[in-house]
Amino acid sequence: MSLFTLPDLLALGFFVICWLGYAITMEWTAYGCSGLNARMHMHRDGWMQQMLHRDMRMVDAQIMASLQNGTAFFASTSLIAIGGTLALLRSTDDLITIVAALPFGVPPSRVLWEIKTIGLAVIFVYAFFKFAWAYRLYNYVAIMIGAMPPSTEKDLPQAKRHARQTGKLCESAGRHFNRGQRAFFFALGYLGWFVSPWLLFATTAAVVAVMWSRQFVSDANAAMTAE
């Protein structure tokens, strides 16, 4: 008897395709360039260019501290989520019993349940690495800001190059942070698999719909495109 049923395989394949497809669309296509994340990347570069014209950069340092603190929070949350997920392995039998009692639940075998739990832990581990790397990159950005040439040199080629490099580094940090948050969102969708493979279809589609709406039809995106 196969460990995974056909609905399990289809649902898991749908989950992976949705995650990869959404990530590729947002980061590598022209359509994704009209999303909120891409618009904010352009403003990161503009921020660094504007910094060249400022003598006092305390506000920029405060913005960097805010970005670093937010990233550190999510990295710490990822570790907590990993620990909580691994703790589920100690309560496998009880949780299987609870799922079996649900009217739409499909009770899995113990091995399948543990595989699902480990899969959830892997998602949170991926998120942690993304947030941790984003935090490190923001540290590098802070160093680059500290090394930013003074405003009296703003027209020099090396000063403009430094601002562009800092903007690209900040953009990279933001991209990895977005990938970590995306993993968190898809982890919520993944939870549906613990109840039923059919529910995984629904929760994955719901996560994609919510993320898409926030990127393209939200009030925030409308504010960024307003004339």
- Average pLDDT per consecutive 10 residues, the chain (227 residues; last block may be shorter): 81 96 94 89 88 86 92 96 88 69 67 89 97 96 91 90 93 96 96 90 97 92 80
pLDDT at residue 106, as a whole number: 63
pLDDT at residue 107, as a whole number: 67
pLDDT at residue 5, as a whole number: 87
Report yes or no: 49 and 167 within 8 Å, Cβ to Cβ. Answer: yes
pLDDT at residue 97, as a whole number: 74
pLDDT at residue 20, as a whole number: 97
pLDDT at residue 1, as a whole number: 43
pLDDT at residue 102, as a whole number: 65
| Secondary structure, 3-state, 174-219 | HHHHHHHHHHHHHHHHHHHHHCCHHHHHHHHHHHHHHHHHHHHCCH
pLDDT at residue 74, as a whole number: 96
